[in-house]
Amino acid sequence: MNASKFPKITTHVLQEMKLKGEKVSMLTCYDYSMARIIDEAGIDVILVGDSAANVMAGYKTTLPITLNEMIYHAGSVMRAVERALVVVDLPFGTYQGNSREALNSAIRIMKESNANAVKLEGGREIKESIDRILSAGIPVMGHLGLTPQSINKFGTYVVRARDEEEANRLREDAKLLEDIGCFAVVLEKIPAKLAEEVTQSIKIPTIGIGAGSAVDGQVLVIHDMLGINQDFSPRFLRRYHNLYEEMKGAVQMYIKDVKSIDFPNEREQY
């Protein structure tokens, strides 16, 4: 990719995109090879999400992934990316309840992976941690609505903020994240109408996942949208490929060719 032809996306660029009404495209990514492809394709934001716990490591929730593992994924992505803004999730247990630990975790991510920003799940309850990270000059993306690190509190992955009390709390938290200086906020699995209202009421970009079309951008987990992961089919997911079947088919052809001594042929040897 010619970097001068495609200037680096920064948090300021995202702000300008919101002002111009240009939607932000965001995908998760966890490794070098995939990051090269999606950066060259022109994605605006890459999220090294803690969903790596699910799609890369096979855990049932995002809770087990460690800070060291997130730094490994983030460093791999960063070695490939020239244009996209790269945001890294602070994993569960590295920022809640202790703002000093939150800052140390964020600094480790920035120093050891060279990423551009961090993302934290939650609103008022983690304000002190966000404040402290921001005070060190580290850009923070918020995350409200369904926050998978709190699955043990929620009990299920159903749509959040359907009732007025939770919707009000989310409205207030979105405003708080804007006021303290977050550069964007992910809105996960909330009613489209509420996401639209929040998007219009704050100046920072909102990035939706299962939050309708009236947000400032969209994010999906790359393994879900490419059809590598077939176990997950929520209503909000659009699949752009069936890579699970394509990759399985390619591997089956390879096995057949090896067994029948069709591979390697004359031209494929020295």
Contacts of 218 (CB under 8 A, 6+ apart): 23, 24, 25, 26, 207, 208, 209
Among 106, 110, 126, 209, binds ligand KIV (CB under 6 A): 209
DSSP secondary structure letter of residue 159: P
Which residue, chain included where needed, has tokens 């020295």?
Answer: 270
Q: How far is the CB of 28 from ligand KIV (least distance, A)?
A: 4
Yes or no: say if 106 and 136 are a contact pair by the CB < 8 Å rule.
Answer: yes
Find the DSSP H helices in the chain: 11-20, 32-41, 52-55, 67-78, 99-113, 127-135, 151-154, 164-180, 192-201, 222-225, 243-259
Contacts of 223 (CB under 8 A, 6+ apart): 28, 55, 229
Report if residue 208 touches ligand KIV, rule: CB under 6 A: no
Q: How far is the CB of 186 from ligand KIV (least distance, A)?
A: 5
Site string for ligand KIV, 58-97 (x = CB under 6 A): -------------------------------x--------
Among 50, 178, 196, 216, binds ligand KIV (CB under 6 A): 50
Among 29, 219, 225, 228, binds ligand KIV (CB under 6 A): 219
Output the CA torsion 24→75→34→227 (10° steps): -80
Q: Which amino acid is present at 188?
A: E
Which residue sits closest to ligand KIV, CB atoms considered? Answer: 49
Report if residue 190 touches ligand KIV, rule: CB under 6 A: no
**Quick check: is 188 catalytic?**
yes
Where in 226-255 is the site for ligand KIV (CB under 6 A)? Answer: none
Report if residue 25 touches ligand KIV, rule: CB under 6 A: no
Q: Catalytic residue, from 188, 197, 266, 268: name it.
A: 188
| Contact footprint for ligand KIV (CB under 6 A) | 28, 47, 49-51, 89, 186, 188, 209, 219, 221
